[in-house]
Amino acid sequence: MAEEKKKGSWLVPIVAAVAVALIVRSFIMAPYVVEGASMEPSLEDRDRILVNKIPTWLGEFDRGDIVIIEENNRHYVKRLIAMPGETISMEEGMLLVDGEEIDEPYVNELEDYVESIEEVTMDDDEYYVMGDNRGNSLDSRNGLGLIEEDDVLGRSTVVFFPMSNLQLTN
């Protein structure tokens, strides 16, 4: 009888471990891969990042956060530029939110960026996102449009691979 109990004793810990892993990945933390150059120099193509999903439940995002969004069944890594209820515009590369200039030290400095964006006001559940590499990014300006709160999956916390790029992201 004791021998029968030993045979199945490995099943419960394996099932428990799989259940915990699924819960963590679904509701707390998940890995994602950066695809493309739109977030350079902050994030490189093929960087692997960990994304904290808890801010999604709490609605705790700040301007400048790097987030994962889901749009048309694809995932995008972008930076939050304007928050719900805010008004954004850009004049010759100078970003204005609610009429005040926003400092953006993360923007790719290698480019002479002079784009202008007409004034846009976010609804109470919308965000405006942009890539740091402004000249090479699909974002709210040119294809993704305004991002609904439900489409923000979480906030990036760390680049964990490759090890040469290991860094906190927010």
DSSP assignment of 68-91, as one string? EEEETTEEEEEEEEE-TT-EEEEE
Give me the catalytic one of 42, 53, 78, 137.
78
Q: Omega of the bond prior to 162 within 30 degrees of 0, cis? A: yes
Residue 134: phi, psi to the nearest 5? -55, -30
Beta-carbon contacts of residue 118 (< 8 Å; ≥ 6 apart) = 89
Which of these, 62, 69, 66, lies nearest to 79 by C-alpha position? 66
| Rounded-to-10 torsion of CA 143, 144, 145, 147 | 180
| Other residues' Cβ atoms within 10 Å of the Cβ of residue 44 | 15
- Catalytic, 78? Answer yes
- Catalytic, 53? Answer no
| Rounded-to-10 torsion of CA 140, 108, 103, 148 | 20
Which residues are the active-site residues?
A: 38, 78
